[in-house]
Amino acid sequence: MSADIAIARLGQADIGQVREWLRMFGQAFAEPDVYGANQPDSRYLDDLLGRSDFIALAAADDGMVVGGIAAYVLPKFEQARSEIYLYDLAVAEIHRRRGIATALIERLKAEARAAGAYVLFVQADPPDAPAVALYEKLGRREDVLHFDIDP
């Protein structure tokens, strides 16, 4: 990864950067409306970023957000421990293949250790070969079924 890339955990003082982070996710996933058309208001983001169970990491190149992770700390019930769910990871297309995604995951691993988590997990869609290859490089693969259930 280039030395110019800085990775930081976003907090309540970073709402402007969070909006840029959301736009980057929308561009990276080719879903700008999902991440940009109905963004939460600043009060919602302030509350979310103030929570210890939400982790927002941003990779910036010369102050511009070029990558990010959204993750959640999930307290377990069977033992006094937690898991980290890596919900979303994106790197802007022109910044890919520079080690940014791996560096973001390494930073998330440090956040997981600090939170006392025993595992970090992520799911990937099989057609997304680059994501599958990245996660296979970094962890153990488990084949599971995922179901969306309407509330």
Q: Which range is least confidently modeled, 28-37, 111-120, 136-145? A: 136-145
Q: Is residue 151 part of a domain?
A: no
Tens digits of per-residue pLDDT, 49-69?
999 999 999 999 988 999 999
Start-to-end C-alpha separation, the chain = 42
Q: Is residue 71 part of a domain?
A: yes
Check: CB of residue 65 under 8 Å from CB of residue 21.
yes
Residue 123 is predicted with a pLDDT of 77
Q: Is residue 19 part of a domain?
A: yes
Q: Is residue 112 part of a domain?
A: yes
**Residue 6 backbone phi and psi in degrees, to 5:** -115, 135
What CATH number does the domain containing 36 carry? 3.40.630.30
Q: Is residue 60 part of a domain?
A: yes
Residue 1 is predicted with a pLDDT of 56
| pLDDT above 70 for 26 | yes
Q: Is residue 47 part of a domain?
A: yes
Host domain of residue 80: 5-138
Q: Is residue 74 part of a domain?
A: yes
Q: Is residue 22 part of a domain?
A: yes
Single pTM value for the model? 0.85
| pLDDT above 70 for 133 | no
The tally of domains found in the chain comes to: 1
